Amino acid sequence: MGAEPQAAAGNDFTARAPKALNDPTLRANFRRAMDGLMSKRAAQFADTPAWEALRARGAAAKARVLARLPELLVELEENCRANGIEVHWAESIPEANAIVLEILRAAGARTVIKGKSMVSEEMELNHHLAAHGIQAVESDLGEYIIQLAGEAPSHIVMPCIHKNKAEIAQLFAERIPGLGYTEDVDALTAAARAELRGRFAAADAGISGVNFAVAETGTLVLVENEGNGRLSTTLPPLHIALMGIEKLVETLEDLPPLLALLPRSATGQHITTYVNMITHPRRPGELDGPEKVHLVLLDSGRSRVFGDDQLRDTLRCIRCGACMNHCPVYSRVGGHTYKFVYPGPIGKILTPQLEGLDCAGDQPHASTLCNACVEVCPVKIPIADILVRLREESVRPGHSGAVKGGGARRSWLETLSWRGWMLIYSRPWMGRLAAWGMTRFGNLLPERLPLLKAWTSVRAKPRFAAKSLHELAREQGYCDE
């Protein structure tokens, strides 16, 4: 372990950030996108009291889910089964991948068409399937673009937000036979449609995520604008839905407020083009829809997050992306700098909990604690409080065990410094002496001093005043310190 917190475990965010910050195209792409998303969202919630009431209702709906999570999962499972949807449980990502592969193999599936799913990104499902000879094609336009480019999503709602029109035009010209270079968005969209239509028709299976699973009715709810989610879940004979174990609602009645919050927070739309509620596979007499529907419930660290009643609030997230759109850090460094699947504020609290502070301990520090995310989060997740808590967990001795890899960023020098601080400031005479010393000699401290360097590497070194506050107060005649 290094002498300074900056060199401690799980940190290369600070090393990666300058690259993004110095990339003017990337900066411009994000600035334009974030400004657009923020103003569209603001227009949707112009009526503040109405928004507050709606938000309170949405937050309560998700908090209720967490209060009854194990019971609701069992209820969801029972109702899905009764509806003819097969339910699978996966503790880990390898387990989830194995389940999906097994289902596809049993069906003899060779090609898969995918709707957008962040859980599948978590699983790196496409790689896994490819390694076993199954081709998975992304059909959400943004996901399709980054799949062509061999990149990862940079935003949870708009995965190719880091690319501009010219970059996409170039990519399509290279990768779509017969298209040529065009920056006409309609032409680019039409080219993708034409490419993907055949893939949909030929696919042996469709894989999707789930936005809300309704425990009461065993219904899977998917929201989207493109229709690719509907196609993926309707056209192929087999549908596999992937969801984290937290993405539930108790009742159908809880759905309308959450549906009113999600798209408005995400993209400033009053509703998405499609809200797709799937309750059964194709039933006798019906002419389309998959014959078989499977639901895979993924834990992968979530039950551990659930174990701590403060950190648990992380699991209320409905993945709207508003927190990243409003984040001064995300909007400047973009999604790839975080290096994990979930970027921005939600990523900064979720990733260290899922992956461990030993390998993602840098994430909670990539924040100014400005609170912008907390103000816009539609389900009122106290992101800033959780960030602070995770920072504590990462340096805590004999930590609570709430987070994997807790204490990983603890450094002896920092610990020693705080001990010294405590010692000095719990004794008034020592405190006075220290203040006197700092005012007289503090400015002589070299910038490169360990600990101080962490601050001075990106900021000017603070200057100590010539006299301490206490001295000034005494001079003014205040004698009671």
Partner 1 sequence: MSDARANILARLRAAPRTAPPERPDWTPPVFGEGRLERFRAMLGSVHGEVVETTLAAWPERLAALLAERGVRRVLYGPAAPVGAQLGRAWMADADAPTLVPYDRSIEEMKAELVHTVEAGVTSVRWGIAETGSLVLWPDAAEPRLMSLLPPLHVAVMAASGLHDSLAQLVAEQGWAGAMPTNALLISGPSKTADIEQTLAYGVHGPKELLVLVLTDQ
| Contacting positions for ligand SF4 (CB under 6 A) | 317-323, 345-346, 376-379, 381
Taking the complex as a whole, the smallest distance from the CB of residue 108 to ligand SF4 amounts, in Å, to 38
Q: How far apart are CA 347 and CA 370, in angstroms?
A: 16
397 binds partner 1 per the rule CB under 8 A: no
Please report, as residue ranges, which positions from 109 to 128 form the binding site for partner 1 (by CB under 8 A).
none
- Using CA atoms, how far apart are residues 286 and 76, in angstroms rounded to an integer? 24
Instruction: Candidates 294, 312, 365, 396: give the one binding partner 1 (CB under 8 A).
Output: 312
Find tokens 């994990």 and name the residue.
340
Q: Compare residues 263 and 281 and give the one whose CB is closer to ligand SF4.
A: 263
325 binds partner 1 (CB under 8 A): no
State which residue, 37 or 376, has the beta carbon closest to ligand SF4. 376
Q: Residue 180 Cβ, how far from partner 1 at the closest point, in Å?
A: 16
Q: How far is CA 306 from the centre of its chain?
A: 17
Single out the residue of 178, 186, 458, 463 in contact with partner 1 (rule: CB under 8 A).
186
DSSP-based three-state secondary structure for 213: strand
Based on CB atoms, which residue is closest to ligand SF4, 129 or 381? 381
Pick 200 or 455: Cβ nearer partner 1: 200
CB of 316 to partner 1, least distance (A): 12
What span, in angstroms and rounded, lies between the C-alpha atoms of 367 and 352?
14
Please give the Cα distance from 447 to 460 (Å, whole number).
9
Q: Which stretch binds partner 1 (CB under 8 A): 50-58, 331-339, 346-354, 444-452?
A: 50-58
* Residue 329: both structure tokens together: 């850090």
Indicate which of ligand SF4, partner 1, none lies near residue 323 (CB less than 5 to 8 Å, by partner kind). Answer: ligand SF4
232 to 251, contacts with partner 1 by CB under 8 A?
A: 234-235, 237, 245, 251
Q: Is 39 in the site for partner 1 (CB under 8 A)?
A: no
Q: Which residues pair with 268 in a beta bridge?
A: none
User: Is the CB of residue 155 less than 8 Å from the CB of residue 161?
Assistant: yes
**255 binds partner 1, rule: CB under 8 A:** yes
Q: Rule CB under 8 A: say whether 32 interacts with partner 1.
A: yes
Residue 458 is a binding residue for partner 1 (CB under 8 A): no
Is residue 31 a contact residue for partner 1 (CB under 8 A)?
Answer: no
For residue 287, count CB atoms less than 10 angstroms from its CB and return exposed for 0-12, middle for 13-18, buried for 19 or more. exposed
Contact 470, 481 (CB under 8 A): yes
Nearer to partner 1, 153 or 347 (CB): 153
Q: How far is CA 87 from CA 74, 233, 240, 430, in A?
A: 10, 16, 10, 65
Query: Residue 318 binds what, of partner 1, ligand SF4, none (CB under 5 to 8 Å, by partner type)?
Result: ligand SF4
The DSSP bridge partners found for residue 113 are 137, 206
Beta carbon nearer to partner 1, 37 or 435: 37
Q: How many residues bind partner 1 (CB under 8 A)?
A: 99
C-alpha 160/C-alpha 164 separation (Å) is 9
Q: In what order do the strands lie in the sheet with 111-114?
A: 85-90, 292-298, 238-244, 205-208, 111-114, 135-138
Using the structure block, give the residue that is written with the tokens 């996966």.
Answer: 90
Q: Which stretch binds partner 1 (CB under 8 A): 2-10, 86-94, 381-389, 433-441?
A: 86-94
Stretch that binds partner 1, among 9-17, 82-90, 104-112, 445-453 (CB under 8 A): 82-90
**Residue 151 sits in the site that holds partner 1 (CB under 8 A):** no
CA nearest to 141, candidates 111, 163, 173, 166: 163
Select from 278, 298, 289 the least CA-distant residue to 117.
298
Report which secondary-structure segment, H or E, holds 277: strand 274-278
Among ligand SF4, partner 1, none, the one that 453 touches (CB under a kind-dependent 5 to 8 A) is none
Q: Which does 73 bind (CB under 5 to 8 A by kind): partner 1, ligand SF4, none?
A: partner 1
Q: Which is nearer to partner 1, 57 or 110 (CB)?
A: 57
The candidate with the shortest Cα–Cα distance to 268, out of 334, 226, 325, 211, is: 325
Residues 6+ apart with CB under 8 A from 8: 1, 2, 361, 408, 409, 410, 411
Contacting residue, 8, 26, 69, 118, with partner 1 by CB under 8 A: 69
Q: Per rule CB under 8 A, is residue 204 in the interface with partner 1?
A: no
Rounded least distance, CB 378 to partner 1, Å: 13
Per-residue b or e along 412-440, where b marks 16 or more CB atoms closer than 10 Å to that residue's CB: eebeeeeeeeeebeeeeeebeebbeeebe
Which of 124, 151, 200, 432 contacts partner 1 by CB under 8 A?
Answer: 200
Query: Which of 170, 227, 424, 455 is in the footprint of partner 1 by CB under 8 A?
Result: 227
For residue 320, the partner it binds in partner 1, ligand SF4, none, with Cβ less than 5 to 8 A by kind, is: ligand SF4
Tell me which of ligand SF4, partner 1, none is bound by residue 341, counting a contact when its beta carbon lies within the kind-specific cut-off of 5 to 8 angstroms: none
228 binds, among partner 1, ligand SF4, none (CB under 5 to 8 A by kind): partner 1
DSSP 370-399: --HHHHH-TT---HHHHHHHHHHHHH-TT-
Applying CB under 8 A, among 164, 170, 371, 456 the residue interacting with partner 1 is 164
